[in-house]
Chain A
Amino acid sequence: MIKFSTFFTLWMGALALGFAYQQADLTIHMWVAVIIGAFWTWGLLQFKKQIPRIGMVLLSLLSIIGLFNELPFGWMLAGALNALLSYDLSNFYQRLRFASETEDIKLLKRVHFTRLSIITLLGLSLSTSVILWQAEFSLEWAIFLALSGIWGISLLVGWVRREA
């Protein structure tokens, strides 16, 4: 189930981006999305630890480039979100390899899927509502976000220091 979901979300993301680029006559970009999907699939089959990270970064970059090229937001969000899901499921699948036979794997999977589904739905609904709301992205919003970002970074630095 996890394996299937990993491959499914990975190709959903790659094909969503590919389709959007193909619609915009950006054939090279489309092929890049497909190649990334194939590369990621190969990495998963070979149990390469770093491939999901690289694949996720590359697909997210393709989504950003797509938005710059004024491609439909829905397809780009689908690409980035599926890349994130596939990244998470790939890592989870690799960790599950070490689970013992006595471990309740079904429960572990259920909890993981539930949490992931909630985050996905929440993320999708928030993103969609932001787009539907169509609020003007003014300078005030930018300053608020910048301050939030700085606060986030400072929290992150504090956390890293504590970890060290």
Chain B
Amino acid sequence: MRRNAPLILILYGILFIALVSMNGEMLALAIPLALYMLAGLYFAPQEIDLKIERELSAERITPKQEVIVEIEITNLGSNLEELFLEDQISPALKIIKGETGFFCTLKKGESISWCYTLTGPRGSFLFKGIKAIASDHFNIAQKEKMIETEGQIFIIPSFTRIKNIKIRPRQTRAYAGNIPARIGGPGVEFYGLREYQPGDSLRWVNWRASARHPQALYSNEYEQERVADVGIILDGREAVNMGESGNSLYEHSVIAAAALSDAFIASGNRVGLLLYGQTLRWTFPGYGHIQRERIMQSLARAEIGDSSVFTDLMRIPSQLFPINSQLVLISPLKNDDYGTLVHLRARGYQVMVISPNPVSYERANLPDNANTRLASRIISMERRMFMLKLQRAGVQALDWDIREPLDKLVKAHLGRPPAWRNPIK
């Protein structure tokens, strides 16, 4: 209606002026316009009855990959002279090839298909449906209908695979893995000595110790290696992630969370993910490929939040994580977080912190002058002191300058188990 408003306005305007001024020429001027509108109304479309099916070349991609969306339309209703279809996609998605809009004429029972290619940033994108607008050839009379169609794309963070992260939680699970379990039994690393028991392999007998005690035989005991529970906490608080210039470290934290989850799951561990930000979003711990997929989908949806409830880390629900398990916090951190981390450590959790460095990140976006350099040095020193303080409290803290690849940093610092065992008694 609003689209035809100028035409209606002119038509009735001319008619009104013609009547008021009793001008026949003015009336004649309105005739072509009136005929044009009448023709449009005469050929107005009937009800829209379309069957639409959408097919995606992939439902799970990384930010640089592309998805081909193919849509097939079948007209189950009457002939449609002009049909304009528009796929309602999120504005964050970027069209690489083709258009989300499609114009055609569709006879009764006829089918037609069109496709376009898109890509986008990390996220979960639901296709709302397709808007169908049928009209006559003059586009005077329109019929509009929203047709629901299924479809969803997960654009998961892309990351470099990390191998060999050595962790040492106090408690492990029953299944065999590659984390030292602090229990004697079959394994690789020497754990202790015990008296020979029937069934022990002769290769395990410690002949040197047995020689000292002629009455008994002693066997070597090795440290069992098992899988463990790992809880990954991704800090999405706006206060720690957003810089002064509006840049965010959060994407880097998400990539780190994806890489670490993948590494821990690949080692056979039971991994859970907690997104801490606007709300708490918990992915229940699990094993294997399905759990990896659940975590990646959860990370695809992860967003920064500025909830006043979660301004500090005090609200981390530690009861979600099995007691004495390994916790990995990915957060740029602020000084107030020290207490919470020490508290978690005191409760028996083995805490590891991967902290994207906000100082070097912000510094890169600021002008290079004496004041900035001095400020940067002071804040860097403060941060270094804070990290040392955390390490002294038994928290395995890793300062990550995001200009360096995470896998390199992890290989250098987490490729061997932490030097301490029970720093907090």
Contact = CB atoms under 8 A, between A and B. Distances in A.
Secondary structure type dominating chain A contacts: helix
Contacts of B9: 57
Contact of B32 (A115, A120, A131, A146): A120
A99 B6 CA distance: 26
A63 B29 CA distance: 9
Contacts of B138: 88, 115-116
Contact of B103 (A56, A63, A98, A119): A98
Interface string A76-102: 110011001000100110011111101
Contacts of A54: 6
Most buried by B among A126, A135, A139: A126
Nearest to B41: A159
B22 interface: yes
Given A56-B6, A124-B32, A64 B26 contact: yes
B370 interface: no
Interface in B234-291: none
Contacts of B353: none
Interface string A146-164: 1001000100100110010
Nearest to B98: A100
A9 to B, nearest CB: 13
Interface residues of B, number: 44
Nearest to B44: A159
Given A57-B10, A115-B138, A99 B22 contact: no
Given A57-B10, A60-B33, 8 more contacts: A53-B6, A60-B14, A88-B138, A92-B139, A95-B84, A107-B105, A111-B81, A115-B138
Contact of A98 (B19, B81, B101): B101
B32 A84 contact: yes
A111 B26 contact: no
A130 B28 contact: yes
5 contacts: A80-B29, A98-B101, A126-B32, A130-B24, A145-B27
Size band of the A side of the interface?
35 or more
Secondary structure type dominating chain B contacts: helix
Contacts of B12: 149, 153
A68 B21 CA distance: 9
Contacts of B8: 156
A48 interface: no
Most buried by A among B26, B36, B99, B101: B36
B1 A64 contact: no
A56 B13 CA distance: 14
A103 B137 contact: no
A60 B112 CA distance: 40
A149 B105 CA distance: 34
A35 interface: no
Nearest to B32: A123
B103 A137 contact: no
Contacts of A107: 105
Given A67-B25, A67-B26, A137-B24, A123 B84 contact: no
Contact of B35 (A73, A91, A95, A126): A126
B225 interface: no
A28 interface: no
A124 B27 CA distance: 13
A96 B36 contact: no
A1 interface: no
Nearest to A97: B103
A5 interface: no
A160 B84 CA distance: 21
Contact of A130 (B6, B15, B27, B139): B27
B39 interface: yes
Contacts of B385: none
B104 A100 contact: yes
Given A80-B33, A98-B103, A119-B36, A64 B17 contact: yes
Contact of A84 (B18, B36, B41, B105): B36
